Amino acid sequence: MTILLVGYGKMGRAIEQIALERGHQIVGRIDLSNRADMDALADDAVDVVIEFSSPESAVDNLRYCISRGWAVVCGTTGWLAHRTEIEQAVREQGSAFFYASNYSIGVNLFFRLNKVLAKFMHNYPGYQVSMTEVHHTEKKDAPSGTAITLAEGLLENLPQKTRWAVSEADKPADGDTADAVVIDSVREGNVPGTHIVRFESEVDRIEIAHVAHSRQGFALGAVTAAEWLAGRQGVFGMDDLLGDS
């Protein structure tokens, strides 16, 4: 399979390593310094684009790749205000698009566990839900896309919560957050990603957590998604890849 990497930072390099180990060919490595190099690629030179860039670049990258008819696996977060537009363009072009806020298989199992726990807890109003996410200092968006996905899973299953809100360590959460899932975003060191969901009462606390030890799990998931997406048409996500397992 031929892969075009759009975004060649730490994640792009981790994806490249795994893709090469699995016998795939990298036909281009695109970042801000050489974005015009995509113009030189033939339409049929790319089986799948794997896009891990930045919130500021992602939408233009996606528009361009979709216009070329290339299948795209996207792991960039912080751009989802344009998601409807991008997915509509995919359908009109007849191409393929795969988006996940996190490509780790473990995280996606954690998403499912989070929903199950929320279903159990919605009958126990004495417990208040909150969340903490910790990432490296180079991560530009906060809260993380993974944290937002977790919060959306909680909102689906906790009728008393209608939105998520951001809390910062040095100041209280914005406004009245009684109806909100409050997310505390922490940026420190070289943390690949930690997400904690907690339900706390006056007498005890229940926590579930996912702690990534490296970027390898995210990279392997992205390459696996690219392998799965090749030759398909439509809009997909991790639930399609994982099925009902």
Q: Which of 88-97, 169-178, 221-230 has the lowest mean pLDDT?
A: 169-178
Q: What is the pLDDT of residues 113-135, one digit of tens each?
A: 999 999 999 999 999 999 999 99
Determine the structural domain holding residue 32 and report its residue range: 2-103+216-242
Same domain? 39 vs 93: yes
User: Are 32 and 95 within one domain?
Assistant: yes
Query: Does position 216 have pLDDT exceeding 80, yes or no?
Result: yes
Assess whether pLDDT exceeds 60 at residue 51.
Answer: yes
Give strand pairing partners of 29: 5
| CATH code, domain with 182 | 3.30.360.10
CA distances from 47 to 69, 210, 228, 231 (A): 10, 32, 11, 8
Rounded mean pLDDT of 175-202? 91
Per-chain mean pLDDT for the chain: 93
Work out the pLDDT band at 174, boundaries 50, 70, 90.
low
- Same domain for 84 and 176? no
User: Do residue 230 and residue 157 come from a single domain?
Assistant: no
Whole-angstrom distance, CA of residue 20 vs CA of residue 25: 6
Residues of each annotated binding site for NAD(+): 75-77, 100-103
Statement to judge: residues 138 and 49 lie in one domain = no
Which residues belong to the annotated binding site? Answer: 35, 75-77, 100-103, 136, 145-146
CB 144 within 8 A of CB 158: no
Check which CATH number belongs to the domain holding 89 and give it: 3.40.50.720
Using a pLDDT cut of 70, give the percent of the chain over it: 96
Q: What is the pLDDT of residue 171?
A: 46
Q: Helix count (H) and strand count (E) of the chain?
A: 7, 11
User: Are 144 and 207 members of one domain?
Assistant: yes
Q: pLDDT-derived band of residue 244, with 50, 70 and 90 as boundaries?
A: low
Q: 113: number of CA atoms within 13 Å, CB side?
A: 14
Domain count, the chain: 2
> Do 43 and 67 have their domain in common?
yes
Tell me the catalytic residues. 135, 139
- Do 127 and 90 belong to one domain? no
Predicted local confidence at residue 170, as pLDDT: 44
Question: Could you read off the pLDDT of 56-67 as tens digits, one per residue?
Answer: 999 999 999 999
Instruction: Give residue for tokens 């809100």.
Output: 165
Q: Which residue has the higher pLDDT, 188 or 173?
A: 188
Place of tokens 């229940």: 206
- Measured distance between the N- and C-terminal CA atoms of the chain, rounded to whole angstroms: 26
Alpha carbon distances (Å) from 222 to 18, 34, 121 = 10, 23, 32
Structure tokens at 2: 């031929």
The pTM for the full model equals: 0.78
Q: Are residues 224 and 241 in contact, defined by beta-carbon separation less than 8 angstroms?
A: yes
Residues annotated as binding site for (S)-2,3,4,5-tetrahydrodipicolinate?
Answer: 136, 145-146
Q: Tell me the pLDDT band of 168, cut-offs 50, 70 and 90.
A: low
Looking at the predicted structure, is the pLDDT value of residue 136 above 50?
Answer: yes
What single-letter amino acid sits at 76? T
Strand partners, 9: none
Token pair listed for 210 = 């996912």
Of the pLDDT bands very low, low, confident and very high (cuts 50, 70, 90), residue 101 is: confident
121 and 205 both lie in a single domain? yes
